[in-house]
Amino acid sequence: MSRFNNAVQSCPSEEMKTLLAAAAHAALTAGAIIRELYDKPHTIKMKGEIDLVTEADVAAETAIIASLREDAPDDIAVMAEESFDETTEPGKGRTWVIDPLDGTTNFAHNIPLFAVSIALVENRQPELGVIYCPMQDELFVTSRGGGAWLNDRKIRVTETDFLVQSLVATGFPYDIRDHLNQILEQTRSVLPKVRDIRRCGAAAVDLAYVACGRFDGFWEMALKPWDTAAGCLLVKEAGGRVTDFLGQQYTPFKKEILATNTRLHTLLLDLIA
């Protein structure tokens, strides 16, 4: 429990403490499995023309669901990327929203930047979230009202006020061809205004890095709920702001996300809207 004791103790409700500990435990368990598989030859299957799935995505998801079933009540629904079927879209009830391996393309190419992401969503908004980067052994933990934590220390977004001093991140969806013009336009407007742009290849990591002050902002379109459910709460709890591209309230069921240190939000929104 020492890996996430402070984060769990800061969680406002007793029930949520148990669920947050269950999510953190599941993420660490899955992360250990992914780390173990990292150096071994991979089994890569295509989900679409570009979208991959490896043995690690499937093994991690199975382990997360088993771990949550053991540590948390089993009346909580599950929405997990590799076993998702459209008929199980969550309603208002509680749902575990799981990306067992965010950054599969990095994993498949032996780039050690990827994460496990688990959130508990209720009324379509995240109540708690965990993002674990196994190769860096970095565990990001958050709960609504309980702050944002990295390896059990509180984290905050940056205080950067000027775009010229900002490092921002973005991502490219698998159906890039359907969005190419908009993505190139956004890049064309942002790139000359900021210090630089990063494309890390894992949206959950991008959001975690905004929360802990490594990036000043992140935007991406065509995302899925499991990419952002934990990360959007983490950024907000770290003092950041998260909206869609129109500046409207974000939920993980929206496809477009802009997450910033709050101070740069309007400036970035103007550039990408």
List all residues 6 or more positions away from 192 whose beta carbon is below 8 Å from its beta carbon: none
From Ca ion, ligand IPD, none, interface partner of 244 (C-beta below 5 to 8 A by class): none
Q: Is 206 in the site for Ca ion (CB under 5 A)?
A: no
Torsion-angle region of 83 (φ positive above 0: left; ψ -120 to 50: alpha; else: beta): alpha
Q: Is 103 in the site for ligand IPD (CB under 6 A)?
A: yes
The Cα 101–Cα 202 span in angstroms is 9
Q: Which residue is nearest to Ca ion (CB)?
A: 102
Tokens of 32: 């250990």
x/- letters, 142..181, toward ligand IPD (CB under 6 A): -----------------------------xxxx-------
Tell me which DSSP letter residue 194 carries. S
Q: Is 102 in the site for Ca ion (CB under 5 A)?
A: yes
The Cα 66–Cα 61 span in angstroms is 9
* Interface with ligand IPD (CB under 6 A), residue from 141, 203, 264, 271: 203
Helix (H, G, I), strand (E, B), or coil: what is residue 209? helix
The smaller minimum CB distance to ligand IPD, of residues 103 and 147, is found at: 103
* Interface with ligand IPD (CB under 6 A), residue from 156, 223, 256, 267: 223
Start-to-end Cα distance in the chain: 43
Helix (H, G, I), strand (E, B), or coil: what is residue 168? strand
Q: Which residue is nearest to ligand IPD (CB)?
A: 171
* Interface with Ca ion (CB under 5 A), residue from 30, 65, 99, 169: 99
Q: Please spell the DSSP secondary structure of 15-38, one letter per residue.
A: HHHHHHHHHHHHHHHHHHHHHHHH
The smaller minimum CB distance to ligand IPD, of residues 102 and 237, is found at: 102
Q: How far is the CB of 20 from ligand IPD (least distance, A)?
A: 22
Q: Is 54 in the site for ligand IPD (CB under 6 A)?
A: no
Q: How far is the CB of 102 from ligand IPD (least distance, A)?
A: 4
* Subset of 62-101 contacting ligand IPD (CB under 6 A): 99
Q: How far is the CB of 43 from Ca ion (least distance, A)?
A: 15
Torsion-angle region of 137 (φ positive above 0: left; ψ -120 to 50: alpha; else: beta): left
Tokens of 82: 């590799």
Q: Are 165 and 152 in contact (CB under 8 A)?
A: no
From ligand IPD, Ca ion, none, interface partner of 84 (C-beta below 5 to 8 A by class): none
**Binding interface with Ca ion (CB under 5 A):** 81, 99, 101-102, 227
